Structure 1
Amino acid sequence: MEQAFREQSEELELLNRILRHDVRNDLNIILGWAESLEETATGEEEEKLERIRSAGQRAVELTRVARDIAEAISGEEEPELHPVPLDDVLTTEVKNRTAAFDDAAIELH
């Protein structure tokens, strides 16, 4: 039973690594195209490209977080833990969600 669990865990880790790698590659392509379009973009196009770039960068960061979580779960590495000011995290997330959803009314008290 333990051997089967270990094999399944290794297979899931491999799938996770492949998926993260492929997603990051596609995101880097998207971010590269957005950057190349910035040279000729004007007005509203610039704003849309900024949103694309911002969303792409957040998605790349999510692949890093997924890696860290997978490593913590598998026990391969000790997670690097340190205190994080909650107000900074919340402010950043409110900013990101407001940028992603024009019609949203998000308030932070």
Structure 2
Amino acid sequence: MALGRIAVHDIAVAATDETLFDFTEASSVDVTVCNRNATSVTIRLAVIDGAIGALASEDYVYYDFTVNANDSQPLMSHEAISANELIMVRASNTGVSFRLSGRGA
């Protein structure tokens, strides 16, 4: 299993669900969000069971969480992710990026 950066994602469209990463094997991951805007944004992050496929309310780990202007926040640390799960992200504005790192994938 590799250790380090697994994926990065820059929000392309505000207020739209986007896939950060789709896992093919069990992993232990960290997620960090960076807001490069001069104003605060809200973000969402969900871990979705790929076998079920559809986003459900219980999948959310963060929902309309505020990230201050020009700030970064660790969101998940050493989170266990199963094979076939995916991480979905969303932000209220562009200028927001997510970094996924850890072991596995």
User: Structure 2 length normalisation: TM-score?
Assistant: 0.21
TM-score by length of 1: 0.21
Higher helix proportion: 1
Bigger radius of gyration, 1 or 2? Answer: 1
User: Which structure features the higher share of strand residues?
Assistant: 2
Query: With CA pairs under 8 Å and 6+ residues apart, which has the higher RCO, 1 or 2?
Result: 2
